[in-house]
Chain A
Amino acid sequence: NAGVTQTPKFQVLKTGQSMTLQCAQDMNHNSMYWYRQDPGMGLRLIYYSASEGTTDKGEVPNGYNVSRLNKREFSLRLESAAPSQTSVYFCASREDRRLNQPQHFGDGTRLSIL
């Protein structure tokens, strides 16, 4: 009963390094999301994928790219990490984009950029 699985759970990078955060869901959901959570800021949407084969920018997309590899997997890439990208990253999925359906979150990736 895995739900949404994120890897890695923790990572430390140096400024300028690249990294891909992985997310997979086993609930056959159509929509997937990447958020970042910062103290005092709440969750902010980075990118989302309403369905397999589509991706769209959210509120804070700069510095990130995404790939919806298949229905299960949605990855987030930092091409050149910056200290401002230090955050906790959450992946989420939902059956479709309607908000009244539960959005299932992973347990997060804690990323520090030095």
Chain B
Amino acid sequence: QKEVEQDPGPLSVPEGAIVSLNCTYSNSAFQYFMWYRQYSRKGPELLMYTYSSGNKEDGRFTAQVDKSSKYISLFIRDSQPSDSATYLCAMSPNNNDMRFGAGTRLTVKP
């Protein structure tokens, strides 16, 4: 069993939709949770960083962590075609070493 599971998609939504991306994990020691966005043929870029359980909002993006269920989510409101990318979740037990999910490919259609 992988430490981090992420549905690879692909996920296709119309412009303006609310997108929900999710990861589950098995290691209860994970405390630091991140979401990265990766455009085609580019390196990942950090979108959101959260510590422990709870919500964090940044513009159209909201990250949620539920440690009791070992489940994290990223919500994108009012999705735009420019949000089309692969989204990677990542997590760490110690603020140093990361484990990545395989990524979910998202397409937002105009």
Residues of A within 8 A of B (CB): 4, 39-45, 58-59, 90, 92, 97-100, 102-108
Contact = CB atoms under 8 A, between A and B. Distances in A.
Contacts of B74: none
A41 B41 contact: no
Given A105-B45, A107-B43, A99 B96 contact: yes
A108 B88 contact: no
A104 B90 CA distance: 15
Given A99-B49, A100-B49, A102-B46, A43 B41 contact: no
Nearest to B8: A40
Given A97-B96, A99-B92, A42 B41 contact: no
Contacts of A45: 97-98
Contact of B41 (A92, A97, A108): A108
A42 B32 contact: no
Interface of B: 4, 6, 8, 32, 34, 41-46, 49, 51, 88, 90, 92, 95-103
Contact of B32 (A58, A92, A99): A99
Contacts of A40: 8, 102
Contact of A43 (B8, B44, B46, B97): B44
17 contacts: A41-B102, A42-B88, A42-B101, A42-B103, A43-B90, A44-B100, A45-B98, A90-B44, A97-B96, A98-B96, A99-B34, A99-B49, A99-B95, A99-B96, A100-B32, A105-B42, A108-B42
Contacts of A108: 41-43
A106 B100 CA distance: 17
A41 B95 CA distance: 21
Contacts of B103: 42
A92 B44 CA distance: 9
Contacts of A43: 44, 88, 90, 98, 100
